[in-house]
Structure 1
């Protein structure tokens, strides 16, 4: 690969001759890692013209760098970064002390400090990855997704690929969601009542920005999806946590002053509790009494392999007070970052305007690829295949957990992809996670799902979406051993 001549600039503060400055510029590029071994440098003529110096000056600089083993010359091809060039240091090679800004004063707002955990990017190298929300490459329909992507890149779809939708979305994707996805949840909507988002988290952020102020209160489940809590804390609204039970969010425990209620009725995150029909109706009635809005995060309804899911809260809503959040990132793959919001026209209009000011719209070719994947039936086939495999994995996991006497705290009534667990009192699952990683086992500690410094530390989540059935028993056996060890230490 050739290094662009536009990346070369002489440092006006550098000392020495022009030749020395050019040598320093190239050597710093190699030492910083910007120029890599085997990359071709611009010709002496081209670099001289770009820098406004004589060609002989550049040639002499190249010759000196070749003598120092920074560069190597190849017959009739020019100069390249030498294979024997010094390795870039692992630390930041910038000169210290350049940043003189007092960022504690300069930052107007802070968005760090939340409780969202850092998930390992190398999860697939672990032999027993009980991790939530990742894609199993053995289940994904690579061939048909590639075919749909190529179709979306074709001349026929040139407009969808290249157009600036500004604040609009791909009409093919909107049509599929309206005609196929939402009716499966009992929801009927119009095109101006739906907005495509960059995943469910982006949908929740847009919702919080539009609905909440510093004077309003959001009611959230305890425990709840940790990223939602971070979003709401950044909005500076008041937060009221409501403890969930085996049926999810109890309407009777909601504070009367709440303005917006966030809930996950189909698969409570993270306990997997499923809200029964009577409670769903009671929640709608309670929200009506309070004149509150409800945000329904239906993040995993497709993974219902035990029996058909209950109708969405949105389908039971007769007042327009429920805002529905859906996502394809859990069912297709998380890197897709494609979700959607369904709500009243006035609400969607404001979310659309906010989205346009931040990112305009999700990339057109991603929307069109997803639209083809959905409309050609590949998505339904993928969901059926996942359901069959997940049912088997869940059966194996439940048997392994029972064999070792491990405490199951919550299962999804209709399916899902994980089981909520409780370790013995005194066991810190963050410490358990550390010990398990050394034995190639990944779990998800539960403490980030709870609010405050007094949050319980003995919960954890086991997912079966990314681990083959045959590995589950051995992974659970290792988990049981480490739990027993930590329990003995806690006594």
Structure 2
């Protein structure tokens, strides 16, 4: 059963009489036909049966004292083994949802919870004029999910970027690390409000293992754990970019432009070329430069060493700072990644953003900021004022997963799989005549594509959904009132190799239709 589902202490004081038939003066039995296993339920059969019974009790359909069907009858009705039902009932006995009365069978326990018998509350009238009351609106910007439907995993050809293939993830060792983090020895890391502190084991691993691989040397006081790269970019924006003149790449990560808009920054988008951001185009007066030098988002261009050095010189001339988003360096499986821009920084003017979301899973929401101690001190204070710190259990679980070598093994396994899928992508796009606008010299998990100029990929994406194909239109990546509509991105981290060619064929057919 889901941990924490039963709060027996809180429910022990609730006293409700068992359900008795007024006609016969005996305990009512719950008909076996009441029980149904839905296809939407998650987990093992045993867990699903437990959840089914618990839902009936919590919703008030099953009352205290009512008799449940026998294990044999319920097993026959659900078409499952009798031992599965017996184990489910036994677990619910231990949690005091059910009780056993000798040979009479199983009954809803007298200590089982019941929903409160509250009278329905009449719906209130909202008389607030929210157009006037809201000091600032955050809706209406570019979609963060790039139009991705919630059920994207049910599509047969999901060319979706940034999602995890469950077949590649190391579930077993992740569970072991999570269990270890729940142990008594790590109780303080799990339960205490650390206020503005981070897990020292996680920080130590990042400082001694992760960052040196990027050529970066940093002390613990120069590292801050964040809730993913998005949170790191927000912290950097709030501390550096409010009302200031800022440069971003064009195209770029859409959510970054939205963060800068909320900060009232004066944003100048600069077009990237095949080598990324041209430093000589950065205008005078710029105070902050946001860039993705190792794997430009979304074109996958890599900033050459000479241009990196030129970018640092230009930032020094402007007395500007650089925010380097190194979101996908772990996905460099074709060749070694270029050194991080931060590794070349001798003036302390580069703020480095890293993330575990691409290499572990996006739902983890764990990343980090690296910068001068004074900057990190302010970022830590800002983080503490908003969310204190990322959950201690998640930090400690990741620390175990990293330090025990599971992370490196996972990255190697993902790299091999992505290399095979990329080969299939390159073969299929060439075979069906699709134009690749950017593919990344070191690897990655997506291709930046260009369609004919007269095609609006937003319309194409909608048509492809009926073919069970998902792509990401590229319009949202561009700044300006008239962005191009003929670009799109094809991710291959979530689609098996054997489906790639057929998916590409369907895209090509719709484009040519």
TM-score (norm 2): 0.78
Aligned residue among 357, 362, 372 for 2:390: 362
Q: Note the C-alpha offset of 1:213.
A: 2.2
Aligned residue among 195, 200, 203 for 1:171: 200
- 2:240 pairs with 1:211: yes
Give me the CA root mean square deviation: 2.5
Q: Note the C-alpha offset of 1:124.
A: 0.9
1:268 is paired with a residue whose SS is coil
Partner residue of 1:22?
none
Name the CA shift for 1:375/1:77 in 2 (closer, same or farther; >3 Å). Answer: closer
- 2:258 pairs with 1:230: yes
Name the CA shift for 1:411/1:41 in 2 (closer, same or farther; >3 Å). Answer: same
Q: How many residues align?
A: 419
TM-score (norm 1): 0.81
1:309 is paired with a residue whose SS is coil
Deviations 1:370-403 (A, max 9, x none): 0000000000000000111100100001000000
Deviations 1:331-372 (A, max 9, x none): 000000000000001100000000000000000000000000
Name the CA shift for 1:80/1:319 in 2 (closer, same or farther; >3 Å). Answer: closer
Partner residue of 2:230?
201
Structure 2 CA distance for aligned equivalents of residues 34 and 95 of structure 1: 26
Preserved contact between residue 128 and residue 471 of structure 1 (Cα < 8 Å): yes
Preserved contact between residue 39 and residue 80 of structure 1 (Cα < 8 Å): no
2:290 is paired with a residue whose SS is strand
Q: Note the C-alpha offset of 1:113.
A: 1.7
Partner residue of 2:127?
100
Q: Note the C-alpha offset of 1:121.
A: 2.1
Structure 1 CA distance for aligned equivalents of residues 359 and 109 of structure 2: 54
Preserved contact between residue 303 and residue 383 of structure 1 (Cα < 8 Å): yes
Preserved contact between residue 225 and residue 390 of structure 2 (Cα < 8 Å): yes
Name the CA shift for 1:284/1:478 in 2 (closer, same or farther; >3 Å). Answer: same
Q: Note the C-alpha offset of 1:78.
A: 11
Deviations 1:195-240 (A, max 9, x none): 00000000000000011222x1110000000011111111011000
Deviations 1:155-198 (A, max 9, x none): 11111111211101000000000000000000000010000000
Preserved contact between residue 180 and residue 397 of structure 2 (Cα < 8 Å): yes
Partner residue of 1:63?
none
Name the CA shift for 1:382/1:75 in 2 (closer, same or farther; >3 Å). Answer: closer
Structure 2 CA distance for aligned equivalents of residues 76 and 366 of structure 1: 35
Structure 2, unaligned runs of 5 or more: 15-54, 66-106
Q: Note the C-alpha offset of 1:275.
A: 0.7
- 2:150 pairs with 1:121: yes
- 2:507 pairs with 1:479: yes
Q: Note the C-alpha offset of 1:425.
A: 1.1
Name the CA shift for 1:430/1:36 in 2 (closer, same or farther; >3 Å). Answer: farther
2:490 is paired with a residue whose SS is strand
Name the CA shift for 1:76/1:140 in 2 (closer, same or farther; >3 Å). Answer: closer
Partner residue of 1:137?
166
Aligned residue among 437, 444, 450 for 1:409: 437
1:302 is paired with a residue whose SS is helix
Which stretches of structure 1, 4 residues or longer, exceed 6 Å deviation after superposition? Answer: 1-6, 33-36, 74-82
Partner residue of 1:322?
350
Preserved contact between residue 40 and residue 79 of structure 1 (Cα < 8 Å): no
Partner residue of 1:184?
213
